[in-house]
Structure 1
Amino acid sequence: MGVKDEPQKAAVVSPFIKSFAGSIGGIAEAGCLQPIDTIKTRLQLDKAKQYKGIVDCGKQIIRDEGTKSLWKGLTPFATHLTLKYALRMGTNAFYQSLLRDKDGKLSDIRRMGAGFAAGITEALVIVTPFEVVKIRLQQQRGLSKELLKYRGPVHTATTIFREEGLLGLWSGAAPTVMRNGTNQMCLFWAKNNFDGLFFGKEEGDGRVLLPWQSMLSGFSAACLGPIATGPFDVIKTRLMAQQKSDGPARYKGLLDALVKIPAEEGFLAFYKGLLPRLLRIPPGQAIVWAVSDQIVGYFEQKQYE
C-alpha cells in the first residue's frame, strides 16, 4: 500500500483535512439519526410521564403529529453536526499538535486534554446556539404551523433573540461545556486505544482501517460519553427549553438544576433519555468515523508514498 515497514515518524495530517473529514461524516450522521434525537429530547422534557419509553414516544409523535415530525429541527441539527464535527476534528488536531512531544508522540493524558479542549470549543462556538434552536422546535407539539410559536430555524433564532436577547441562544452553556468537554475527552482517547486494541492500528502509521473496523472502534468509544455525561445532558436540555414568555424560570442555572431535579424527580431523572442517546450517539460516531477515517487515511498514506 506504499507504507514503509518501519516509518521513522508518524504521519500527521493537517487540522484542515481532519476538519473536512469530520464535516462530511456529520452530514451522513444527521440524515440517519434525527428521529432518535427528537425522541430523546421529548423524553428528557417529559415531566408528566406521558411517554412509556422510546417506542411509545415515537408512536405517539407519529400518531399525533405525523411521521415528518420525527425530523423536526433537522435543518439546524444537520447544520449543527456538520459545523460541529468540522470544528471538533480540526480543533482536536490543533490542540494535539500543541501537546505532542519533540518526537510527535502524544500521551494518553495529553490526548484527553486535547479532546476536552476541543469539546469546550465546540460547545461555546457551535453546539449551544444550535441546540437551543433545535430543542425549542422539538418541544413543540401539534400539526398546524399557525398555532406553533416557532415556525422554523431562522424564525426560532430571531424570536429568541428578540424576546430573550443574544444570550438566550446560549441558554444552558455551562452544562453543555461540561457535557461536550467530557464527551470528547472520552471519545478521542478511547477511539485511539480501541483502534490499537482491536486492530493494532497506531495513529499516523499510514494504515487505513476498513469502514467496518472504524465503525466498530468508533461505536465502542462513543458508548463512554453518554454514560459519563447523562446528568449534564438532561440539565442542558431543561435549561435550553426554558422561555421567558412562560414566566419565572424553573431552574436558575446548572447548580440549581443539579439540586432540584433529583429532589423533585429522583436521581434517575438525570438519566432520562439515556437509552435514545445510546441509540443515537454510538451509531452516529460509527458513521462519522467510517467516513472520516477513510479521508484522513488517504492523506496519511500520501505521506508514505
Structure 2
Amino acid sequence: MSSERKPLPFAATFTAGAIAGVSEILTFYPLGVVKTRMQLETGKSSTGLVGAFQTIIKQEGFGRLYRGLVPPLLLEAPKRATKFAANEFWGKTYLSLSSSSEAKMTQSLSILTGCSAGATESFVVVPFELVKIKLQDKSSTYAGPIDVVRKVIAADGVLGLYAGMEATFWRHFWWNGGYFGSIFQVRAMMPKAETPSGELFNNFVSGSVGGLIGTAINTPFDVVKSRIQGAAKVPGVVPKYNWTYPGLVTIFREEGAAALYKGFVPKVLRLAPGGGVLLLVVEFTMDLFRKALGPPYL
C-alpha cells in the first residue's frame, strides 16, 4: 500500500477482486470438495487425499467434484472484492489514527488490518458457505443451490442461512490475519523486483506463503465450521457442534489433535498456490487500472 499514489476507485478494486476470485475458484475447486468431505468425516480417516479423490470419482462420478460450484462462483466477486477492499480500508483507517504524519505499515499493523478485513468478509460469505457445504456433503439430497436455500428458510427462517456465522467469523479472521501479515513480511524479505515479470513473481511467492500460513492457522476453525454447517438440526436437541471454541475442544477430546487438521492437505494445496494466484491477479489487474487511469493513481 503506497501513501503516495491515490487509491483506486471502488469499481476497480471490485473488478480486480472478482477476476482474481473466479480465476482461483475455477482452478482449485475440486480440492475444496475433497477438503469438505474429509472434514465432515468423523472418527479416524481411512483415506488420504488421493484415496478421497478416487472414491468420489468411482462412486459418484467426476462431475461430483464440481458439485456446489455455483454458490462459490456467485460469491467470488463480492467476497474477494470485500477482502481486498476491506484490507485497504482498514489499513488506511489504522494509519490515519497514528499521531505521526509519516506513519507506515508494519507487520503487526498488517496482521491487525488482515484480521479486520477477515471479520468484515465473514459477514458476506456465510450464506454461500452454508449452501456449498450442504451440496458438497456425501449424503446431500438437495437438487441444487436454490433447493438448499428454499428448504433451509422453510425449516429455520432466513436466519437459518447464517448458521455457523460465529465459526465463519473466526475462520476468516485468522486466515486473513495470517495471509496479509505474511505477505507484508515476505515482500520485505524478497529482493526488490526490477521488471514487471519480477513483480508478478514476488506477488505469487508472497501470496503463496501467505496462503500457506493462513491455512495452517485457520484449518481447525474451518473443520468446526464445516461440522456446524453440515449438521442437520433436530428439534429439541442441542447440536453437538454449536460454538467454535467448545467445538475445537470436543473434536480434540474425541478424535485427537490430528482431527483438527482434517482436510489440511487439499486445503493447503488449494489455498497456498490459490493465495498466490489471488494476489498475482489482483495486483496485475489493479496495475492495469492504474495505467489506464494515469496520475495520480500510478
TM-score, normalised to structure 1, is 0.86
What per-residue deviation string (whole Å, max 9, x for no partner) do you get for residues 258-277 of structure 1? 22211111121111111111
CA distance in 1, matches of 2:51, 2:20: 30
Alignment of 1:1-305 (within 5 A): 10-14=4-8, 16=10, 17-47=12-42, 49=44, 51-101=46-96, 102-103=101-102, 105-124=104-123, 126-141=124-139, 149-200=141-192, 209-244=198-233, 248=237, 249-300=239-290, 302-303=294-295
CA distance in 2, matches of 1:281, 1:15: 27
Quick check: 2:15–2:77 contact (8 Å CA) kept in 1?
Answer: no
Percentage identity across paired residues of the two chains? 29
Give the corresponding residue for 1:5: none
Cα distance, 1:185 vs. partner?
Answer: 1.3
What per-residue deviation string (whole Å, max 9, x for no partner) do you get for residues 176-195 of structure 1? 11121111112112212222
Residues 9 and 74 of structure 1: CA distance in aligned 2, closer, same or farther (over 3 Å): closer
CA distance in 2, matches of 1:275, 1:31: 19
Aligned residue identity for 1:107: T
CA distance in 1, matches of 2:257, 2:191: 39
What per-residue deviation string (whole Å, max 9, x for no partner) do you get for residues 68-92 of structure 1? 1000111111222232101111111
Aligned pairs, how many? 288
Cα distance, 1:154 vs. partner?
Answer: 1.4
Aligned residue identity for 1:244: K
Give runs of ≥4 in structure 1 deviating > 6 Å. Answer: none
Cα distance, 1:158 vs. partner?
Answer: 1.6
CA distance in 2, matches of 1:270, 1:81: 26
Two-structure CA RMSD over aligned residues (Å): 2.5
Cα distance, 1:153 vs. partner?
Answer: 0.9
Secondary structure of the structure 1 residue equivalent to 2:186:
helix
What per-residue deviation string (whole Å, max 9, x for no partner) do you get for residues 210-265 of structure 1? 43332112111211111111211111110010112598322232243122211111
Quick check: 1:15–1:93 contact (8 Å CA) kept in 2?
Answer: no
Quick check: 1:39–1:57 contact (8 Å CA) kept in 2?
Answer: yes
CA distance in 2, matches of 1:170, 1:60: 31
> Which deviates further from its counterpart, 234-243 or 183-192?
183-192
Aligned residue identity for 1:114: T
Residues 179 and 109 of structure 1: CA distance in aligned 2, closer, same or farther (over 3 Å): same
Structure 2: runs of 5 or more not aligned:
none
Aligned residue identity for 2:180: F
TM-score, normalised to structure 2, is 0.88
Quick check: 1:13–1:296 contact (8 Å CA) kept in 2?
Answer: no
Cα distance, 1:95 vs. partner?
Answer: 1.2
Cα distance, 1:117 vs. partner?
Answer: 1.0
Secondary structure of the structure 1 residue equivalent to 2:190:
helix
What per-residue deviation string (whole Å, max 9, x for no partner) do you get for residues 104-146 of structure 1? 622332222221111001111x2211111000000034xxxxx
Quick check: 1:19–1:88 contact (8 Å CA) kept in 2?
Answer: no
Quick check: 1:13–1:299 contact (8 Å CA) kept in 2?
Answer: no
Cα distance, 1:199 vs. partner?
Answer: 3.3
Quick check: 1:14–1:93 contact (8 Å CA) kept in 2?
Answer: no
CA distance in 2, matches of 1:251, 1:264: 12
Structure 1: runs of 5 or more not aligned:
1-7, 142-147
Residues 159 and 131 of structure 1: CA distance in aligned 2, closer, same or farther (over 3 Å): same
CA distance in 2, matches of 1:189, 1:298: 25
CA distance in 2, matches of 1:171, 1:180: 15
> Which deviates further from its counterpart, 114-123 or 253-262?
253-262
Give the corresponding residue for 1:3: none
